[in-house]
Structure 1
Amino acid sequence: MLRLSNFGPHARLLGMIILWGASWPAGRIVAQAMPPLAAASLRFLLALLVLLPWMYRSGGFAQLKDWSLQRWLGMGLAGFFGVYAYASLFLSGLQYVPAGKAALLITLNPVVTLLLAVWLFKERINTIISLGMAMAFVGAIIVIAQGDPRHILQGHLGLGEVLILGCVACWVAYTLLGRWVMTGVDALSATTVTAAIGAVLLLVTSLVVEGPAGMQATLHSGWTAWGALLFLAFGATALAYAWFFEGVKRLGAGAAAGYITLVPVVGVAISALLLHEALDASLLIGGTLAVLGTVIMQRGRR
């Protein structure tokens, strides 16, 4: 029975999965209306308006002077992969791929991360984890190939799918880097510093690649696109991370991670409701396998 004292953290974690799930259709709206690099840079610059004061109030700035050069280099790499590269590929991929499909492809994150953790850190897996990994992998393949794996074998992989799979690679790199450089660093400081590094890189790249016209086009986009961008910045980034951190602190990392397995389901549902994206058989079957696989993996790791 759920204790009343724990209801608040559980409610916030439910809010978190809604915010993160809704980030996919919101990203799709932004990607269709704004240059991706300019939009991504504004997303994190706006999010920093919340993250920096939050970090200051928590006393996080005091520890920065004690960070070693190795830690700063590690944070730089984490900011490059986890914010700069991921955000660029996220919005670029959503120009070509429906939001619901993209959300389901991200279920490969824990599979690839764990496989590399087994290789790099000698992390152990059991039969239940292996079963979950296999189910999640097969489900993702069905979604990517639209029910016909021959499409992949014949090299018929779309640009959008390649870009979203690039998001998977970047997030896996960010997660594994975290095990190296973020030991002893609180999650808020790590998130704020990597977001700041990524935002600067995104802004510079936008000005070089898209030019001032890219930022101008972003600033003059419609209210719908700007509403989606503000949601990504303050809802799916600042607020969702705040709720996630509180959930980890109050309930533990395992319970919080369990909620994350529901993000693709929420992403597909909201994309279908708001963007009227079709739910074909390959998406439903593959998505069900992928989500069940991640749930079984989570169970096995407990």
Structure 2
Amino acid sequence: MSSSQKFGPHLRLIGMAILWGASWPAGRVIAQNMPPLAAASLRFLLAATVLLPWMYWAGGFAGLRAWNRRRWLGMAVAGAAGVFGYAAFFLMGLKQVPAGKAALLITLNPVVTLALAVWIFGERINRTIAAGMAVAAAGAVVVISRGRPLEILQGAVGPGEILILGCVACWVAYTLLGRWVMTGVDALSATAVTSTMGALMLLSASLLVEGPAGLAGAMHGNLQAWTALLFLAFGATALAYAWYFDGVKALGAGAASGYITLVPVLGVLFSALLLGESIDASMVIGGAMAVLGTTLMNWGRRPAA
């Protein structure tokens, strides 16, 4: 095996983590300069100009003929949760919450997903995974409460944090829906179809809520905002997904998902470097707990020798 074959998938997965980490400060820039629904719709419409041709060249269009009404309806629901809902909460939340803090809150994704999978599907977990879930959840609480967890009981969670938690809820719904509606569908086709459906939903919502002025405002955004938007569309969406699919194919889903642990750390670092955001003690402690927890969860999933 050549060195490129051996290390190539790992390098691409590191690239994926870098792109997804950088998506948080990019989203913050967009949220401060563009109407959120219009910007989100443009992001996924632009991404679709890459994903749909890629799907066509991969032969995915032929499989669409076999999809029944239930499959199409399931894809629409998945697109509503994983693209429309997530993207809307993402930019609306980043309008109010620093990008680094938001990136750390997303570490709740695997924790909540697995907890619901245990409850709904009866999925089994071991003590290592359970310990990882507890540590990651505790870390997220530290970040949300700015190091004062008891204040959460007194309602001291801001609207921005609630919107980012909406991202978590949408992504968890998208992941769990996948067990029902995406069985037998390749990852590229699922991503291309749900992204396109979600983009159309976002465009419709933008026109209804923000009006034509919202889309016009996004189109006339400044150079910094458009640079961030193009990065999200082609870098953090199309290219990052391509590298992630390649990593899953070469190394397996478990190994590839381990690289996602790097995303919140990189999100905090890029937000500090690019936007000058401060990193307080609660973010360091809570972030370390969250990353340690997700690492334990991934470790617990490793098959026994």
**Counterpart of 1:93?**
93
**Counterpart of 1:290?**
290
Please report the TM-score for the alignment, with normalisation by the length of structure 1.
0.99
- Is 1:124 equivalent to 2:116 in the alignment? no
**Counterpart of 2:58?**
58
Q: Find the aligned partners of 1:165 and 1:26 in 2 and give their Cα distance.
A: 19
| Equivalent residues in 2 for 1:192-207, closer than 5 Å | 192-207=192-207
Q: Any stretches of 5+ residues in structure 1 without a counterpart? A: none
Q: CA deviation at 1:31?
A: 0.2
| Equivalent residues in 2 for 1:99-114, closer than 5 Å | 99-114=99-114
Q: Secondary structure at the match of 1:66?
A: coil
Q: Any stretches of 5+ residues in structure 2 without a counterpart? A: none
Q: CA deviation at 1:3?
A: 5.4
- Is 1:184 equivalent to 2:184 in the alignment? yes
What is the aligned residue count? 302
Q: Find the aligned partners of 2:61 and 2:5 in 1 and give their Cα distance.
A: 31
Q: CA deviation at 1:151?
A: 2.1
Q: CA deviation at 1:225?
A: 0.4
Alignment root-mean-square deviation, CA: 1.1
Q: Find the aligned partners of 2:146 and 2:6 in 1 and give their Cα distance.
A: 41
**Counterpart of 1:212?**
212
Q: CA deviation at 1:150?
A: 2.4
Q: Find the aligned partners of 1:235 and 1:9 in 2 and give their Cα distance.
A: 17
| Equivalent residues in 2 for 1:148-167, closer than 5 Å | 148-167=148-167
Q: Secondary structure at the match of 1:249?
A: helix
Please report the TM-score for the alignment, with normalisation by the length of structure 2.
0.98
- Is 1:256 equivalent to 2:253 in the alignment? no
| Paired AA for residue 164 in structure 1 | I
Q: Find the aligned partners of 2:55 and 2:229 in 1 and give their Cα distance.
A: 23
Q: Find the aligned partners of 1:69 and 1:261 in 2 and give their Cα distance.
A: 36
| Equivalent residues in 2 for 1:38-53, closer than 5 Å | 38-53=38-53
Q: Secondary structure at the match of 2:237?
A: helix
| Paired AA for residue 64 in structure 1 | L
Q: CA deviation at 1:149?
A: 1.2
Q: Find the aligned partners of 1:3 and 1:78 in 2 and give their Cα distance.
A: 38
Q: Secondary structure at the match of 1:31?
A: helix
Q: CA deviation at 1:70?
A: 1.1
- Is 1:171 equivalent to 2:183 in the alignment? no
Q: CA deviation at 1:156?
A: 1.4
Q: Find the aligned partners of 1:29 and 1:159 in 2 and give their Cα distance.
A: 19
Q: CA deviation at 1:261?
A: 0.9
- Is 1:70 equivalent to 2:82 in the alignment? no
**CA shift digits 1:180-218 (9 cap, x unpaired):** 111110000000000011000000000010001001111
**CA shift digits 1:137-170 (9 cap, x unpaired):** 0000000000001221111110100000000000
Q: CA deviation at 1:255?
A: 1.0
Q: CA deviation at 1:99?
A: 0.3
**CA shift digits 1:112-161 (9 cap, x unpaired):** 00000001111001110011001000000000000001221111110100
Q: Secondary structure at the match of 2:155?
A: coil
Q: Find the aligned partners of 2:62 and 2:189 in 1 and give their Cα distance.
A: 10
